[in-house]
Amino acid sequence: GSSGGFDLPVSMALITENPNFPTDSLFVYSINGGGIEYVQREEINGDYTIANFTPLSDISGICALTLNADQSILHVACRDEDNLKAYLLKPNGQLILLDTFKQQENTVIGLDQPFFPKNSWDGEYLYVPAATSNGFSTYKQITDFVFGHGFEGN
């Protein structure tokens, strides 16, 4: 399905190396958008169109989007929700939830107000700083499965 446009966009993830998507297509999260939009770049003329919209009722506030190293998984870290979600990218731009990590659920720590996840240099790990945790959490990425470890400072 499609959405009508952006509503306070705050984060995007640019596709540069996934052969299933046109180069420079992107995913956009808007605070009031109710989900994540897939914006496809037309390779011939360079125009952008909203090609798909994945409604997500369980994310809110300021969220940061980060693709994993091979650009097959989109990570969504939401500050207000104290969580990190991993979504598999379908070739049509649809997102399929793979896993959710939430602060203080199933022994997860280091996710209290997460912000701006970053991939390690080799693409094997995702690092997520967390403001209120005064720490970070680390996630090892193995194809479609992610597992994590957190750290909280004093």
pTM: 0.79
Could you read off the pLDDT of 115-128 as tens digits, one per residue? 788 888 888 888 87
Could you read off the pLDDT of 50-79 as tens digits, one per residue? 999 988 877 777 788 989 888 888 988 887
Residue 26: pLDDT band (50, 70, 90) is very high
- In this structure, of 33-37, 46-50, 96-100, 126-130, the range with the lowest mean pLDDT score is 126-130
Output the average pLDDT for the chain: 79
Q: Are 25 and 40 in contact (CB under 8 A)?
A: yes
Burial class (CB in 10 A: 0-12, 13-18, 19+), 19: exposed
pLDDT at 43 over 60: yes
Mean pLDDT of 85-110: 78
Residue 129 has, within 13 A of its CA and on its CB side, a CA count of 5
Q: Are 23 and 41 in contact (CB under 8 A)?
A: yes
Q: Are 125 and 118 in contact (CB under 8 A)?
A: no
pLDDT at 148 over 70: no
Question: How far apart, in Å, are the Cα atoms of 28 and each of 1, 8, 11, 131, 132?
Answer: 15, 10, 6, 23, 25
Mean pLDDT of 77-82: 78
Q: What is the pLDDT of residue 138?
A: 75
